[in-house]
Structure 1
Amino acid sequence: MTPIFKGTAAMLVGISILSVDALLIRLIEASGWTLLFWRGLLSALIISTFLIATKPSQTIAALRKPSKSLLVGSFAFSISTVCFVLSIDHTQVASTLIIINISPLISALLAFLLLKEQVDIRTIIAIIAAMIGVGFVFYGKAMPTASYGNLMALITAFMLATYFVILRKSKSANAPLYLVLGGICTAIISLIAGAEPLSLTQQEWKYTLLLCCVVVPVSFVLISVGPKYLPAAHANLFMLLEAILGPLFVWAVLGEVPSDNVLLGGSIVLLTLVLFTLSAAKKHRALNKKTSSV
């Protein structure tokens, strides 16, 4: 099996599994804070158990003296998780996933501001076009609480971008621990906000365990494998599938149809990201050819 096939298979399966996330959140009728408590706690337990079993000394050492990057990055990941669930609860799933998908462009902007990485004209144009598309999504209010839900999705995108920039700065050192500490932070925030962990019905327990013990950890493990075999631009292109598959699952099961403004804004955002990613991939190949010829 070639590296490209391995990376492609991992990304396709990982994104397909993750795309069920929004549907399961909708099916769990308990409060968002209760779901967030179990999502954070169970994910942290599963990942920490795996880390301690495979890398005990390295994991314990990192937890005893966590770096500043680990603490800040974990908090950013936690806030992104909280805002994602709150967004799904208050706006159309398509709106949430479309807005979140602008996070790679926000990452480029934050990397310019914080890491002094160069931002070319292609990235600037993509950011402007994506923001126009997001504007249409905000304008289309198919639900009474859509404005709040869209705002939560925008915060999610910013927090995810912050998380990825911190990972880049730390060269992804102890990357799984960000998910562990982020999960614990999410559980604590949820308890303070009024989570009722034992209020789930028998059916909600089934959905919650499926989401927190299978969908979230398995999908993120597979998605983390993809970039090892694929260029970053190609890996980012696969991430766009969630914005397509997620709303399709919700439409098929719950009959939620995106509004016209969401479809228009989503089309602008997705087209922008596809063109941006393909352009980045072309530039990457050109640089590789230039380097190999020297």
Structure 2
Amino acid sequence: MDFRALLVQVQDRLSDADRRRLHFLFAGDIPKWYNIHPSMSGTLDLLQWLIEHDKVSEEDITILMKAFRKINCTEAVALLMGNDCSVHPCPDTFISRQSHIPPCATWSSKVTTMAGIFGKEGDSPLHLNMPTSLAIDLDGNLFVSDEKNNRIQRFAPGETSGVTVIWNLQSPQQIQLDYRTKALYVSEMEGGRVLKWDLQTREGVTIVRNCRLCTGVFVSSKGFIYVVENRRHNVVKYQWDGRIRLDSEYSQQELQGAHGLAFDQVGNMYVADTWNHRIQRYDIDLSQCNHTHT
């Protein structure tokens, strides 16, 4: 699809409130004398200004992706990432930051060590001991689940010395960052729980208990919590006031020693079936949904 045609589709999906929030975010970038009204035509003018001033291009839409995520406009994000929500209802999965990666992208063979020291475990700020998961916030801070040190480390951009942001954990595994609320979710394998940690107040609350070796966690923007139970070989879906299993019998039969999980833009669920040495995909089934919950 033509790049400008794609942007037209994106702005067509915006509500009046979305436009006002979008224009507010870009108010600091656009000269005050360049008055752009937050209307449909005004949003097109805003997009045109961003293109003319090399803020946005077909090769780089990072600034738009960040803006739409900040205002929680999941349909716009999905369209920019190649998923038309009018065909596939937008899943409730846009809680974590995901970078826009052009289809033509490749990766250099030059590798930079961002944290830890090759081949040397330890518990100093410079060391890691079996890192199991990571997350990166919008400011470029790197969060690492440091399993054997029972802590979560934060590495600021350009820094190789980490700061412990969560401690006294019991074998932390997968972590997930909610960049909107600045909360970090941690699954504890030996602790048998999922912890929600507020990075601003530095306080935590256990949101899932009695998990049999929690090795994976995914939290949707509507508050549903998906947990991988390694010992039970299944995936469980929780709500704040209850617990709902997802294909529990099927998962128990098929999965062995499962660890992490993730969801794609359509809503299909992927599980690392560790002991069977494979990744399993569970296709989303919307036949029982009213398209308001995921």
Above 0.5 in TM-score?
A: no
Where is the strand percentage greater, Structure 1 or Structure 2? Answer: 2
Q: Which has the larger radius of gyration?
A: 2
Q: Which has the higher contact order (CA 8 A, sep 6+)?
A: 1
Q: For this structure pair, what is the TM-score category when the shorter chain's length is used for normalisation?
A: under 0.3
